[in-house]
Amino acid sequence: MKFKGKMWIFPEKNINTDQIFPGKYTYDPLTPEQMAEHALEDYLPSFAKEVNKGDILITGQNFGSGSSREQAVTCLKAVGVAAIVGISFGRIFYRNAINNAFPLIQCPEATNYIFEKKDQLKDEKVQVDLVKGEVLIGDKTFSFPPLKGEALNIFETRGLLEYTKEKLQ
């Protein structure tokens, strides 16, 4: 599984699930497409209108911290974000991402490189290969533990629900 897209660089630490998907919509019965309209609304209000399908977020430490709000993953996936490359992720957010087959790549070396060179890299696309465990930016390659085992199986079946259905058959 490979992804290549425009980078959205968010170097701040602790961007939480309230900033990713506002709490005021948590209990509204929204479809994923409706949730997408509110992606990162409290962090970057224009994001949902400007992001393109296949774009990749580059994030600082502890992205997705906070509540167990699964809508935070759902809205990013629904708005078209292909993957997130970050320094680290909130534990529950990370698990929700796996369950929803949404790629989170923990690769501090690539992330820090992008943060340091963001002005020179602003027009570069980033490529992620989940199976090889590589992040490519220009002529630089950074490694991360490749997706394998049950996590890979969950991704290949497009999420935990479909994976479970397949296992039960």
Q: Has residue 149 got a pLDDT over 90? A: no
**Mean per-residue pLDDT for 71-96?**
96
**CA-closest candidate to residue 89, choices 20, 141, 169:** 20
The chain-wide mean pLDDT, for the chain, equals 94
Say if residue 69's pLDDT is above 90. no
Query: pLDDT at residue 113 above 90?
Result: yes
Residue 156 or residue 75, greater confidence: 75
Q: Kindly indicate the confidence band of residue 111, based on its pLDDT and cuts at 50, 70 and 90.
A: very high
Tokens 């959205």 belong to: 8
CA gap 56, 3 in Å, rounded: 8
Nearest CA-CA partner of 149 in 164, 131, 165: 131
Q: How far apart are CA 91 and CA 62, in angstroms?
A: 8
- In this prediction, residue 167 carries a pLDDT of 86
Is residue 88 very low, low, confident or very high in pLDDT (cuts 50, 70, 90)?
Answer: very high
pLDDT at position 158, please? 87
Those residues whose C-beta lies under 8 Å from the C-beta of residue 38, and which sit 6 or more positions away, are 21, 22, 25, 48, 75
CATH number at residue 155: 3.20.19.10
- pLDDT at residue 12, as a whole number: 95
What is the arithmetic mean of pLDDT over 37-63? 97
- How is the beta sheet containing 140-143 ordered, strand by strand? 104-106, 83-86, 56-59, 2-10, 125-129, 134-137, 140-143
Range of the domain at 98: 2-168
Domain count for the chain: 1
Q: Which two tokens stand for residue 93?
A: 């957010």
pLDDT-derived band at 33 (thresholds 50, 70, 90) equals very high
Phi-psi category of 80—alpha, beta or left, where left has phi over 0 and alpha has psi -120 to 50? left
pTM score over 0.85: yes
How would residue 67 be classed by pLDDT, with cut points 50, 70 and 90? Answer: confident
What mean pLDDT comes out for the span 86-113? 96
Q: In this predicted structure, what is the pLDDT of residue 150?
A: 87
Residue 52 has pLDDT above 90, yes or no: yes
